[in-house]
Structure 1
Amino acid sequence: MNRRRFLQLAGAALAADRFAVPAVAADRPAVDVANAPADLHLEIAPLALEIAPGKVVHTVAYNGRVPGPLIRWPEGKPIAVDVTNRSDSPEIVHWHGQWLTSQMDGAMEEGSPMIAAGATLRYAFTPQPAGFRWYHTHTYAGHDLKKGLYSGQFGCFYVEPRENPGAYDQEIFLTLHDWNAYMGGGADASMDAAYDYSTINDRMLGHGDPIRVRAGQRVLFHVLNASATVTHWLALAGHACTVIAADGNAVPRPATMPAVRLAPAERLDILVTMNRPGVWIFGETRSEIRKAGMGIVIEYEGQQGVPRWIEPPETEWDYRRFAMPSASSVTPDERIPLLFESKFEGHGEFDAWTINGKSWPKTDAVTLVTGKRYRLVMTNKSTDDHPVHLHRHTFEVAGLGGKPLSGLRKDVVVVDANTTAEIDFTASHPGPTLFHCHQQTHMDFGFMMLFRYA
């Protein structure tokens, strides 16, 4: 049974259940979840989104907007979210980067229920850990560029820490996304999807309100790459960007850079000191993508004029800049080798992706023992970079290209083409746990596997 057929059957099974309430997360206090008022309601529905005058993409979104509503919620306080599916296909919401049960996680491969067309489902869990998380659809898209993360189904979820020193003057959330104008085709069969437009939040560069700042302010940008397939490079013209957190977790060594890189699903917290009055562009460093819309205007108080772009110096992205240069002091209990390869499937089809020689759903499930620390030793023998994501756990990046490092905690890490990477995690959240590439075409065509707890 492939992923598409699994999705169809799961949706059909729920079609007769107008209000489905899955089991309550184990860490949520005993309450009457079925009858208590929801803290938040999300509605999945079609949307005609005008990203610039005369430029409209027809998509599916949350609550009639892209991105969906920003959720800010205190760490450790339970939340109940009712999701109603007004689209014509089964849907699901994944709470990316959070520690919660498999049934609440929002991945059908782990056993989370689908939401049938016309149905409502409640997610109830205790948001944790603190930091910049997000939520998004986790459905199969295949060749259909209006499904999955090609659509507008994504939003930011900020888990408020119990203590926040707030060493900044303004806080801004930015989401990056790429769009196909017709939202129904345009895929290069063997390689990747092709896009016509790009946006930050819901507008192309020059067609939305600017971000207004004052000289001397320290502005904290929370940036999410919600693209289905594209890695983006960003720079704020005339300014330096200090990365203080990655995937919602404080980095051991904040680093100041002229430009930053975000693969699909990665988040960065970037601190910028506004020390160069003017009107500037915060946008993609590659001109063709910036001209397609990937940018937003930063306007200082009292300043006017045409937004300026200054090409940043060539920047090499290396996770080591944010990590400790020594190996972790904790030795893993077990090493798990994972080999990533692709298979050419012929003209008109995407490549098939394999882990240890097998494609989902025929990949091997690895058994974990609660409390043990595991090291995934990943070897990428393909010519593509892979932003791999481990559900329901935070991992430590333990090695890149055979060189050790420590302290950098993430939930997505890019395994560059023809290189190796190692990550450590403790098996502390029992239940089926999905591991996959967050590039939509790779995930849809085989790049997934499950970890199962003994």
Structure 2
Amino acid sequence: MSGLHRRELLHGLGMAGGAFALSRFVPAWAQSGTSGLVSSPEALTGENIALTVSEGHFSTGGRSAHAVMINGTLPAPLIRLKEGQNVCLHVTNRLKEDTSIHWHGLIVPFQMDGVPGISFPGIRPGETFIYDFPVRQSGTYWYHSHSGMQEAVGHYGPIVIDPAGLDPVQADREHVIVLSDWSPLHPHVLLKRLKQMSGYFNMQKQTLAGLLAGKDQSARERLQWGAMRMDPTDISDVTGSTYSFLVNGHGTAENWTGLFTPGERVRLRIINASAMTNFNVRLPGLPMTVVQCDGQHVQPVETDEFQIGVAETYDVVIRPNEARAYGLIAEAVDRSGLVRATLAPRTGMVAEVPELRQRPLLGMKDMGMDMSGMDMGHGGASGHSDPATEGRAGHSMKMRDKSVAPQVRMGPGVATLSPMPMDRTADRPTGLEDVSHRVLTYADLKSLLPHKDRRPPTRTLDIHLTANMERYMWSFDGVKLSDGAEPIAFRHMERVRVNLINDTMMPHPIHLHGHFFELVTGADEHNPLKHTVNVLPGGKVSFDLTADALGDWAFHCHMLMHMHSGMMRVVTVRHDAGTP
């Protein structure tokens, strides 16, 4: 046997051994080589479902650590329900600490929402809690812990809800794709290191070599950014230096493979269940038609790549006509790593792993200081940025000028306020500004059906996303939840225009429990419905909310460590008399 063939055999045996090891703790729906959710025998279905949360151990890419698993698997079991049914989920806690499950995106009574301290007390060790609620919707959703950052160590799983009637999305086959990040370091250790040094995991800082090669900022720009204590490479807090990125619990070497027959319409239900990572998703050589976002139907729109924020879901339909392997690529937004899975007509095929693209740099727009359309004193509007001019403008606008945000509580936790935040829903997201192919933006999304509630909002509410990134402090309006932040109060059934203003230089996926909101993109009655929206750095997002769900609800950034550090509030919805 030649050395080459021997190496191929050993590699194949190693991959097979890895696949066998994975199969012991990966649920059937997530195993490599699956033909998809044809009859869903691997899903938990029916009116009574039992889930047990317990300790486990997880390994990938040579990294191994403690995990929290559900029914002994990571990711957790697939739950498949039917719109209109009732479900009782019996959740037993076998951990040594409290746990919980939040049904992300599901419209449930607030007592069933699963957030300790807000909607219920949590599930103590040895106890069983029964979540009992009607299923009022269809689409792609997921579930995860809201206790002790357990979500970061494996406590997450997918939910698929079939519509009561005809599904407008017609496909011959469907695969669930759960994206996640995994570190052998416990999330509490990660958070401690970030508080000690906010750039601890950033291994892509600018260098002299980058300056000389013309890939990074100029020396003058660096001095200006340094004077403002800003780092244009500070895009992700936790990076590929410690994270392994996973598809259905598999790293790139483990090559999760989903099968298809050439010519089929294949539906991919893509869920970002990561703790801290926004992903850019693409299938090189294969266009994707987006048909759902956050479980809600949208008018089909074709694209080549999209960014999926933490906790968002996108359903796409693809049509692979060739009998070859296609790579499903999820690249971290800061380009510190990626995961490659394979879609193929048979097992054993391996798609190409592309090189990481050049990491992006933040600019003045990400500070909320976009001068591109302004007269900068040179006789007209500037179509490009002049760092010297922008630097002077930035200082003159006082990046802690409270007049731009009078409701923000100023203090050490608020380093900057965006002087000129702009609506960025039509902007390509971070890192995809200059790629040559099509990129999805929020402005491309239009709901399939017009909204029923067409009342104009009766009031407007501004909420600032605030931080001192250098000290790793995160908040809404300068107030952390633990600092006695007052609830955000809505009257039952009132219509409110909410403006989210990002005063930081990092994107924030903001999630409202118990509700869907209409993202204001200019599509009027076809504005997309969402439960999570990724607010770009220095940008502003507006949504119209009908406060139709009575109770107390969590409202937070879904970057787990931002939420844990204070970027969270309680939303209350009450009758006029104040009775819940």
Give TM class, smaller chain.
Answer: 0.7 to 0.9
Q: CA RMSD in A?
A: 2.7
Aligned counterpart, 2:553: 433
**Equivalent-residue separation in structure 2 for 1:285 and 1:343 (angstroms):** 27
Contact 2:47 2:86 in 1 (8 A): no
Aligned counterpart, 2:90: 82
Counterpart of 1:356, as a letter, is D
**Equivalent-residue separation in structure 1 for 2:469 and 2:339 (angstroms):** 32
Aligned counterpart, 1:61: 69
**Equivalent-residue separation in structure 2 for 1:129 and 1:388 (angstroms):** 21
Structure 1 pair 309/255, CA: closer, same or farther in 2 (3 Å)? farther
Kindly report which structure 2 residues correspond to 1:128-167, keeping only aligned pairs within 5 A, or say none. 128-140=136-148, 147-165=149-167, 167=170
Structure 1 pair 330/254, CA: closer, same or farther in 2 (3 Å)? farther
Match status 1:250 vs 2:258: no
Match status 1:276 vs 2:278: no
2:171 to 143, 168, 173: 168
Contact 1:280 1:309 in 2 (8 A): no
Kindly state the Cα deviation for residue 344 of structure 1 after the two structures are TM-superposed: 5.3
Kindly state the Cα deviation for residue 356 of structure 1 after the two structures are TM-superposed: 2.1
Match status 1:355 vs 2:401: no
Contact 2:280 2:307 in 1 (8 A): yes
Greater strand percent: which structure? 1
**Equivalent-residue separation in structure 2 for 1:373 and 1:306 (angstroms):** 51
Structure 1 pair 181/357, CA: closer, same or farther in 2 (3 Å)? closer
**Equivalent-residue separation in structure 2 for 1:287 and 1:331 (angstroms):** 36
Kindly report which structure 2 residues correspond to 1:383-398, keeping only aligned pairs within 5 A, or say none. 383-398=505-520
Structure 1 unaligned runs (5+)? Answer: 1-36, 141-146
Aligned counterpart, 1:48: 57
Counterpart of 2:147, as a letter, is T
Q: Deviations over 1:134-193 (max 9, x none)?
A: 1100124xxxxxx33211111111222111345111010010111112336344332623
**Equivalent-residue separation in structure 1 for 2:524 and 2:538 (angstroms):** 18
**Equivalent-residue separation in structure 1 for 2:460 and 2:164 (angstroms):** 35
**Equivalent-residue separation in structure 1 for 2:350 and 2:90 (angstroms):** 44
2:245 to 191, 198, 201: 198
Kindly state the Cα deviation for residue 240 of structure 1 after the two structures are TM-superposed: 0.6
**Equivalent-residue separation in structure 2 for 1:197 and 1:300 (angstroms):** 27
Structure 1 pair 372/211, CA: closer, same or farther in 2 (3 Å)? same
Structure 2 unaligned runs (5+)? Answer: 1-45, 200-236, 356-434
Aligned counterpart, 1:371: 493
Contact 1:231 1:262 in 2 (8 A): yes
Contact 2:331 2:339 in 1 (8 A): no
What's the TM-score, normalizing by structure 1? 0.82
Kindly state the Cα deviation for residue 208 of structure 1 after the two structures are TM-superposed: 4.5
Kindly report which structure 2 residues correspond to 1:414-453, keeping only aligned pairs within 5 A, or say none. 414-452=534-572, 453=574
Kindly state the Cα deviation for residue 224 of structure 1 after the two structures are TM-superposed: 0.4
**Equivalent-residue separation in structure 1 for 2:552 and 2:332 (angstroms):** 40
**Equivalent-residue separation in structure 1 for 2:348 and 2:468 (angstroms):** 53
**Equivalent-residue separation in structure 2 for 1:288 and 1:342 (angstroms):** 19
Aligned counterpart, 2:278: 231
Aligned residues: 401
**Equivalent-residue separation in structure 2 for 1:288 and 1:352 (angstroms):** 21
Higher RCO (CA 8 Å, separation ≥ 6 residues): 1
**Equivalent-residue separation in structure 1 for 2:333 and 2:130 (angstroms):** 43
Q: Which has the larger radius of gyration?
A: 2
Contact 1:244 1:269 in 2 (8 A): yes
Q: Deviations over 1:229-271 (max 9, x none)?
A: 11001111210111110000011x3211111211100000010
Q: Deviations over 1:286-310 (max 9, x none)?
A: 69969x5622111125x97542356
Structure 1 pair 371/234, CA: closer, same or farther in 2 (3 Å)? same
